[in-house]
Chains A and B, each alone.
Chain A
Amino acid sequence: MISRSDSDRPSPEALLREAAREGRGRLKVFLGAAPGVGKTYEMLTEGGARKRASTDVVLGIVETHGRVETEALTKDFEIVPRRTVDYQGRALSEMDVDAILERHPQLVLVDELAHTNAPGCRHPKRWQDVEELLAAGIDVYSTLNVQHLESLNDVVASFTRVRVRETVPDSILETADIEVVDIPPDELIERLKEGKVYIPQEATRALGHFFSKSNLSALRELALRRAAQAVDTQMLDYLRAHALAGTWAAGERIVVAVSELSGSMYLIRAAKRLADAQNAPWSAVYVETPRSLNFTEQDREILAEGMRLASQLGATVASIPAANVVDGLKLAIEEMRATQLVIGKSVRSRWFELRHGSVVDRLVRETPGVAVHVLPHVEGLVDRISPERRRRGSWGNPIGYAVSIVLVALFTAVAVGVHSFGGLTNVALVYLVPVLAAASLYGLRTGVFTGILSALAYNFFFLEPVYTFTIQDPENVLTVFVFIIVAIVTSQFAARVRVQANLAERSSGQNAALASFARTLSRVATTHELGQTLCGEVSRQFDVNALFLLPSEQSGLELASAVPPDATRGPIDTAAAEWSVDHKQVAGRGSSTLTASEWLFQPLLSSGRAIGVLGIAKTDGSEPVRTDRLPFLMSFIDQAALALERIELAEDLTSVVQLRERDRLRGALLSSVSHDLRTPLTTIIAAVNELKKAKAADPKLLGEIESQSERLSRFVSNMLDMVRIEAGGIQLMLEPVDLTEAVASAADDLRQELADHPVKFEIAPDLPLVRLDPQLFHQCLVNLLENAAKYSDPKAGITIEAYRESNGMILSIIDKGAGLPPGMEDRVFETFVRIEGSDRKGGTGLGLAIVKGFIEAMGLEIAARNNEDSSGARFMIRFPEQVLVREAAMAE
C-alpha cells in the first residue's frame, strides 16, 4: 500500500503527462455506439463552427459514404488531397500526413480513427498518423465507434458475435476530449430501415444480430461509460499533477499472469479494464519455467503477442524465471507490491491437479492480502490451442527414440554376455542403464518408452519361454512392472534436473554477458568507443548486424559505428531511425512503425530524451530479435544509455570548466585594464582642474580635455560594472530606500547633464519605502536619467513618476523625443546596443545593460516602451510587493 506521505506528492507520471500535453495538439474524439449514429456529421458541424470562429480548419480525410447531408457539409472546408498508394495493382487513397504537416492548420478533421492504412504507408494504423499530427501541435477531431477500442474488443465481440480487427489503443483516449454522439436505439434502427446507415463490409453478415435493440443498448452504455471514465482519468491526472490529496485511489496494483495460451489475450484485456476502473497501475508477467524450453514457435509467438498487447494497453511487462508458476508469480507480486492478481482458470486435467495441487489453490494460500481474480477460459473466442498441437509439443525429440532403441539393442548384447555367467537379476540391472541414459538425456517420455522397450526386450530374450512375449513365472511380471516404475521415477528426476540446469546455464550466461559488458563500458571514455562496444556485443549475443547512430549537431543522425563496418541502410531505414529518435520509441522491423525497414531501431533514452539509437538486423532479413529475448537486449541498451550519459556529462563538464576559465580570464583582464586606466584618468582630470585655476591654457581646450576624460572615466566604470554583472559577482547591501530621496539624489548628481532638461517629479509623497541596494539603485537612476537627457529634445522636459499598483509599485522615467525605433523596446537593454540614428549624443552602449543587470539582481523588473502618443520613450521599473517595506511605526 502507498503510504500517506507518498500520496500527498504530485505523481511524476501525472506531471509528465500534463507537461507532455503542453505544446501538443488536442484530440477530440466523437465516440459513437455503432455506425450510423452521426459521428461524422457531428464532427463536420462542430469543425464548421470552429472555422466560422476563424480557426484554420482543414479536412484531412472524411468518408461520406455517399450520404447527402454529410457530403453537403464537407463543401465548406479546404480539403487536403489524398495520397494514392499503389498496392498490388490497386490504387488505394489514404490520408496524406506529410501534406497536412506541411500545411500545418490549427485543426484537422480525420474521420475513422480506427482505420488501417494501406501497406506502404508510414504507419500501419491511422491513429498513429493522428498521434504524429498531435505531436506536431495540430488539433485533431476524429470519430470512433466504441467496439474499436482495444480493451472493449472482447466485450463487444462476446455479445454481438462480430469481432472487429481494427482496434485503437485505449491510451489515445486518455488525453482526448470525448464527445459521445448518442441517439436512442429505436431511432437508429429506424434510420437503418430507411437506408440512411452505411454498413461496413464485415458487419453485413451479422447485420440483423448486430443492430438488435439489446445490442445497441449495451453498446450505448459502453460508449457512455467509457467517456465518463476518460473524463475521470483526466480529472485524476489533474488532481495528481496538482497534488490535491484526498481524492486518490487506494494504491491498487494489478498483476496479470500471461502464458503461451491464446486465452492470455482475454486475460490481458480483462486486467486492463480492471486497472482502468480502479485507476491502478498494472503489469503483465510471464513466468519462465523449465517448461518454456519445450515451446514451439507458435507458443512463443502467442506469448510475444500477449506481451506486445499488454504493453500497448499501458502495462509494464516482465518475464520472471522461476522453477514453477506459483513461485514466479509470488516473486512478481512481491516485487511490484501488487494487491490484485489476474490469472486464467487452469486448463490442466483433474489428474494433473490431483498430483501437483491446483495453481490457484496454492496462490490463494500463499499470497495472503492479494485478491486473486480467476477468469474462465472463454471457449471459442479464446483457446485456439489444438489438442493435436498439444500432443505434438510434448512428444519430444524423435532422435531420442532412435538412440533409445539402439541403446536397448546394445545393452541386450551386453546382457547376453552377463547372462552367460550370472543370474537373471544382474541382467535386469543391465537394462536400467539405457533407461537412465534415455531419461536423463531426452526426458520423461523417452525414458518411459525406453523402460517399456527394455522390459519387452528383457522378457523376449531372457524370460521363459524365451523368444516370446509371454511370461510364465508371476515373479517376473513383478520385475517388469518395477522396471517401468523405476524408469518413470528416474526419468522424471533426471528430466527436471536437466531442464533446470539448462535454464540456469542460459540465465547465468546472460548475466555473465551483461556483467562483462558493464565492465567494458566502465572503461569506455568516448562515444565512438561506446558505439563499437555496444554494436560488437549486441551483434555477438544476438547474431545480428548492428549499427549505432547519434543525433548530430546539424541535423539528422550520424553513423557512430557499425558491425560489420559495411552494414548498409536505405532511406526507409534512416526514416525509421529518425522516427525512433524523434518519438523516443522503437521503430522498424518487428515494431509497429515503419515496418518496411529491415532494421529494428531502439532509442537510448536518458532523462526523457533520445541520446542515440541502436539498429539491429538479421542478415537473412528475418525479425531481428525474438520477443522473449527483448528484455535481454533492453538491458544492453539501458546500460549503454547510462554510459553514454556519463560520457556526455564528462564532455559537458570539460567544456563548462573551459568556459568558466575563459570567463574568469576575461573578467580579470577587463578589471585590471579598468583599474590601470582609472589612476591615470584621475590624475588627468585633477590636473586639468589645476590648469583651469592657473589659467595656463585656453579654457575651451581644457574643457574639452576635461569632458572627454570624464567620459572615458565613466566608460571605465561601466566596464567594471558590466564585468561584475556578467561574473555574477554583485553583492547586494539591501536597506530601506525612500524613492523620492533616491530620485532627487540621482538628479542632483546629474545637475550639469540635466541643466537643459527640466525634471518634473510626480511621486506620491506617501509611497512605502523599498528594500534595495541604494548604491546600485542610484547607479540605475543616474544611467536612466542620463539616457533620458541624451535622447530627449532640449527643454522638452523629463518626467519621473511613481505610483502604487495592485501588487507593487511602478517608477517611470519618461522623456520627450524621438522615442525608440519599433522593435527595439527590448533590445535597448542588450550590451553595446545604441539607438540607431542618434549616436550624435555619444555613449558607451553599456548604460542600459548595466541598469538591467542591477535591476534584475535586486529582484525588480524593467521594461522600455514608447509613450502611447509617441511623444518619446518611457522606462518603467516595477517593484514587486515583496520588496516594499511596511511603514516604520517606531520612527518617532
Chain B
Amino acid sequence: MSKHKVVVVDDEPAIRRLLRVALERADYSVVEASNGREALSSLSIDHPDAVLLDLGLPDREGLELVPLIAKTGAALLVISAREATQEKVAALDLGADDYVTKPFDTDEVLARLRRALRQHLNLNGNEPIKLGDLEIDLLARRVRRGGADVHLTPKEYALLAELAKYPGRVLTHSQILREVWGQAHEGHVEYLRVTARGLRMKIEADPSRPEILKTEPAIGYRLRDPVKE
C-alpha cells in the first residue's frame, strides 16, 4: 500500500516544517499549504487522505474550509488555540474528525491522525470494541465488563454505542444529543450529563477517576482505550 498523503495547512513555515519532519518520520507523504487558497487547490490536485488544518489562516476563515474538506472524504484534524473552544466545537460539528490544541505534542498529533484515518478507511468494523476490560458489541447490542454483562438503561446504551462508533474521537454535545435524544433536545446538555454520570457508575472501575468515558470540557465526550493511551 502506498503512503498516505497528508496536506498540512498552516501559515507558519516553522510549524509546517516541523509537522513535515514528524509526519515523514511516521511514513506519510506531506504536501504543504500556507493559506486557504493553496489548501483548496491542493485538495483538488493531490486528493489527500488526511488534512491537518490550522484554523487561524491569513486569507480566510479556517472554519469555512472544514465542510469543503469533509466532503472530499479526507480525514480532517484541526489545530487551534487553547482558548478557542467554540471554534473547535464548530469545526467538529461541521465534520472535522478531531482537534489538537497548540502547543501540541507531535506524538499526539500522529496518534489522532492515525485514529481518524483508521475510522475513515474502515468505518464499519463489526468486531466488538475492546476498551480495557470493557467490551462493546454493537451488533449484539451487548456490553460486558470483565466478562460479565453490564445492564444499561436504553439511553446509557445509546450514548455508549454512539461514542463506540468512533472510538477515540470526540463527539460534541450537540452531535450526541441529536443522535441519542433527537433533534428537539439538542440544547439539553443536562440530560447528557446525568446519563454520562449513570453510565460511568456502571462501566468505570472508579467513577470519580474515569478511564474510559472522557470529558472534553465545553466540547464533548470521547471513549478512550485505557491500555493503548
Where the two chains meet, the residues of A that have a C-beta atom closer than 8 Å to any C-beta of B are 678-683, 685-687, 689-690, 693-694, 709-710, 713, 717, 720-721, 724, 733, 735-738, 740-745, 747-748, 761, 763, 765, 769, 773-775, 777-778, 885, 887-888, 890-892
A685 with B103, Cβ < 8 A, contacts A763-B208, A890-B188 known: yes
CB atoms of A689 and B106 under 8 A apart? yes
Is B214 at the interface (CB under 8 A from chain A)?
yes
| Residues from chain A with Cβ under 8 Å of B127 in the complex | none
Stretch at the interface among B13-21, B40-48, B61-69, B118-126: B13-21
Q: Please, what's the 1-or-0 string for B82-106, where 1 marks a CB less than 8 Å from any CB in chain A?
A: 1101100000000000000011111
A679 with B12, Cβ < 8 A, contacts A690-B25, A778-B217 known: yes
Task: Tell me the minimal C-beta distance from A732 to chain B in angstroms.
Answer: 11
Name A733's contact: one of B81, B86, B153, B194 (CB within 8 Å): B86
Name A891's contact: one of B12, B14, B194 (CB within 8 Å): B194
List 11 extra interface pairs beyond A690-B22, A741-B193, A888-B188, CB under 8 A.
A682-B104, A683-B12, A685-B104, A686-B18, A709-B103, A733-B218, A743-B208, A761-B209, A769-B193, A888-B193, A891-B194
| Residues from chain A with Cβ under 8 Å of B194 in the complex | 738, 769, 887-888, 891
Identity of the chain B residue whose Cβ is nearest the Cβ of A689 in the assembled complex: B106
CB atoms of B208 and A740 under 8 A apart? yes
CB atoms of B153 and A892 under 8 A apart? yes
CA distance in complex: A740, B107 (Å): 29
Is B57 at the interface (CB under 8 A from chain A)?
no
Task: Tell me the minimal C-beta distance from B31 to chain A in angstroms.
Answer: 19
Name A686's contact: one of B104, B193, B201, B210 (CB within 8 Å): B104
| Interface residue SS majority, chain A | helix
Is B189 at the interface (CB under 8 A from chain A)?
yes
Most A Cβ at <10 Å: residue of B83, B195, B215: B215
Identity of the chain B residue whose Cβ is nearest the Cβ of A774 in the assembled complex: B218
CB atoms of B188 and A742 under 8 A apart? no
List 18 A–B pairs whose Cβ atoms lie within 8 Å, in order of A's numbering. A682-B15, A685-B104, A686-B19, A686-B22, A686-B104, A709-B103, A713-B103, A733-B86, A736-B190, A738-B193, A741-B193, A742-B215, A745-B217, A765-B197, A775-B85, A775-B217, A891-B191, A892-B153
Task: Tell me the minimal C-beta distance from A352 to chain B in angstroms.
Answer: 87
Is B146 at the interface (CB under 8 A from chain A)?
no
Identity of the chain A residue whose Cβ is nearest the Cβ of B84 in the assembled complex: A775
A891 with B155, Cβ < 8 A, contacts A687-B18, A690-B106 known: yes
A690 with B191, Cβ < 8 A, contacts A683-B12, A744-B215 known: no
CB atoms of B218 and A773 under 8 A apart? yes
Is B70 at the interface (CB under 8 A from chain A)?
no
CA distance in complex: A891, B181 (Å): 9
| Residues from chain A with Cβ under 8 Å of B19 in the complex | 686
Identity of the chain A residue whose Cβ is nearest the Cβ of B216 in the assembled complex: A745
A745 with B215, Cβ < 8 A, contacts A769-B193, A769-B194 known: yes
CB atoms of B190 and A891 under 8 A apart? yes
Report the contact-size class of chain B (Cβ under 8 Å from the partner): 35 or more
Name B214's contact: one of A687, A748, A888 (CB within 8 Å): A748
CB atoms of A717 and B104 under 8 A apart? no
| Interface residue SS majority, chain B | helix
Task: Tell me the minimal C-beta distance from A481 to chain B in angstroms.
Answer: 106
A-B pairs, top 10 by smallest CB distance, nearest first, are: A778-B217, A888-B190, A682-B103, A775-B218, A736-B190, A774-B218, A891-B194, A761-B208, A745-B215, A891-B191
| Residues from chain A with Cβ under 8 Å of B191 in the complex | 888, 890-891
Name B209's contact: one of A709, A744, A773, A885 (CB within 8 Å): A744
CB atoms of B85 and A769 under 8 A apart? no
Is B207 at the interface (CB under 8 A from chain A)?
yes
Is B129 at the interface (CB under 8 A from chain A)?
no
Is B147 at the interface (CB under 8 A from chain A)?
no
CA distance in complex: A709, B21 (Å): 20
CA distance in complex: A551, B149 (Å): 82
Identity of the chain B residue whose Cβ is nearest the Cβ of A706 in the assembled complex: B105
Name A740's contact: one of B189, B207, B214 (CB within 8 Å): B207
CA distance in complex: A680, B193 (Å): 38
Task: Tell me the minimal C-beta distance from A617 to chain B in angstroms.
Answer: 66
| Residues from chain B with Cβ under 8 Å of A710 in the complex | 103
Identity of the chain B residue whose Cβ is nearest the Cβ of A887 in the assembled complex: B194
- List B residues 166-222 near A (Cβ within 8 Å): 173, 185, 188-191, 193-197, 201, 207-210, 214-218
CA distance in complex: A693, B12 (Å): 23
Task: Tell me the minimal C-beta distance from A890 to chain B in angstroms.
Answer: 6
| Residues from chain B with Cβ under 8 Å of A887 in the complex | 194
CB atoms of A775 and B103 under 8 A apart? no
Task: Tell me the minimal C-beta distance from A694 to chain B in angstroms.
Answer: 8
Task: Tell me the minimal C-beta distance from B172 to chain A in angstroms.
Answer: 12
Task: Tell me the minimal C-beta distance from B216 to chain A in angstroms.
Answer: 8
Task: Tell me the minimal C-beta distance from A684 to chain B in angstroms.
Answer: 8
Name A769's contact: one of B83, B190, B209 (CB within 8 Å): B190
Task: Tell me the minimal C-beta distance from B124 to chain A in angstroms.
Answer: 29
Task: Tell me the minimal C-beta distance from B91 to chain A in angstroms.
Answer: 15
Task: Tell me the minimal C-beta distance from A669 to chain B in angstroms.
Answer: 18
| Residues from chain A with Cβ under 8 Å of B173 in the complex | 735
CA distance in complex: A765, B194 (Å): 11
CB atoms of B208 and A744 under 8 A apart? yes
CB atoms of A740 and B197 under 8 A apart? yes
A745 with B214, Cβ < 8 A, contacts A686-B106, A690-B106 known: yes
